[in-house]
A and B are shown apart, each in its own frame.
Chain A
Amino acid sequence: MKRVKRRYLALQLETEEEASQREFLDTVWAAITTLYGEHGASQTGLALIDFNDQKKTALIRVSLSMLQQVRASLASVTQINGKEAALHVVAISGTIKSLKKNIS
């Protein structure tokens, strides 16, 4: 079986109020499902690696073939739990180690 190539994304949350990990993840899934449907969402291989509600940062993992679609979905987020918000991709990398090196 062919190995699935993945990319790790470091995200910066821009929100009026603090958002919890659950709210963040629900928002991302909702954005992907709205734009690409459940079939598209199932192909993204999205997983939350790390979430820091104090620094408002998140690390997610996605499948390389769906990277562009996930970025589009992240860009389409305008609200988290009814409050104005934006998600910005800070860095993308092939490994968690190099991603953490890039953002530090």
Chain B
Amino acid sequence: MKRKFADLHLCLNPKDPNSTPRIMAKAAALGYDLIAVPLNPDIPEAEISKFKSICNDAGADFSSRVDLTPKTRKQLMFQLRKLRRKFEVICVQCENKEVARQAAKDRRVDLLSFPFLDFRDRFFDWAEAELASNSLAALEVDTKPLLLLDGSKRIRLLSTLRREISIAREFHVPVVVSSGVAKEMLLRKPREVAAFASLLGFDEASALNTVSTIPSNIALRNREKLSCGFVAPGIRVVKEGADC
């Protein structure tokens, strides 16, 4: 069966709205079947539908995503309560340990993301992985910093990511590799991203899963949960009314 590739972190340039159809078309042409774009939490439903139609015209499926950057545990809980029913993918940018731990154990969080330049603020350790393994959260790795950094900064980032990914694999925490780019020139084909992921300690099959099966499953699982007939995993309302 043909693999379906997904990029859960395709950024849009807010200063150039005309670039949106272009970058989506480029991603679809490069072989992505599903694209998730981080949106403003206050975005109206009509705007999301507009993005969806642009993406569908380009030949790819669209998933709405929101990036949360809470400062405290309480803020995170509040934002999750408010936004979980609106977006298909929720990513938490963990800027401190308190938020990182809460995000890892909360089943409403899909992706955990850490600052790529501030190595002391990357809290993906054994404890974080253990918490994440009991919830549904996956670790997100962007290729953008790996493409743009060079020298000692890239060496350090590669070494940190390799350590984090080995911890994640030990605790069976899924890893998602996304682009995180807003420029067409920095977009790469999914198989090239998978080859890049092999730098982080993945074998060929696992590297391909990080850009196909794992991100697709996250989006599809949440889409099902957000659909109107959903009751619980495996249970759906198929018919309603007096004759049931």
Interface residues of A (CB under 8 A from B): 14, 34-35, 68-69, 71-72, 74-76, 78, 84-86, 88-89
Contacts and interface: CB of A to CB of B under 8 A. Distances in A.
A69 B150 CA distance: 18
Nearest to A75: B192
A84 B181 CA distance: 14
Given A68-B204, A78-B147, A78-B148, A89 B191 contact: yes
A64 to B, nearest CB: 12
Interface of B: 30, 143, 146-148, 150, 185-189, 191-193, 195-196, 198-199, 204
Given A14-B185, A78-B148, A86-B185, A72 B199 contact: yes
Contacts of B195: 68-69, 71-72, 75
Contact of A74 (B143, B146, B150, B192): B192
Contact of A88 (B188, B199, B204): B188
A72 B188 CA distance: 11
Nearest to B198: A68
27 contacts: A14-B185, A34-B150, A69-B198, A71-B191, A71-B192, A72-B195, A72-B196, A72-B198, A74-B192, A75-B147, A75-B192, A75-B193, A75-B195, A75-B196, A76-B196, A78-B147, A78-B148, A78-B185, A84-B185, A86-B185, A86-B186, A86-B187, A88-B30, A88-B188, A88-B189, A89-B191, A89-B192
B193 A78 contact: no
Given A71-B192, A88-B189, 10 more contacts: A14-B185, A34-B150, A68-B204, A72-B195, A72-B198, A75-B188, A75-B195, A75-B196, A88-B30, A89-B191
A40 B44 CA distance: 51
Contacts of B199: 35, 72
A23 to B, nearest CB: 17
A76 B147 CA distance: 6
B193 to A, nearest CB: 7
The 7 closest A-B pairs by CB, nearest first: A71-B195, A75-B192, A72-B195, A75-B188, A84-B185, A75-B196, A72-B196
Contacts of B150: 34
A74 B192 CA distance: 8
Most chain A CB within 10 A, of B150, B187, B198, B199, is at: B199
B191 A85 contact: no
A4 to B, nearest CB: 20
Contacts of B186: 78, 86
A74 B146 CA distance: 13
Given A14-B185, A68-B198, A88 B147 contact: no
B237 to A, nearest CB: 45
B141 to A, nearest CB: 14
Contacts of B147: 75-76, 78
A86 B189 CA distance: 10
A69 B188 CA distance: 15
Contacts of A14: 185
A97 B203 CA distance: 30
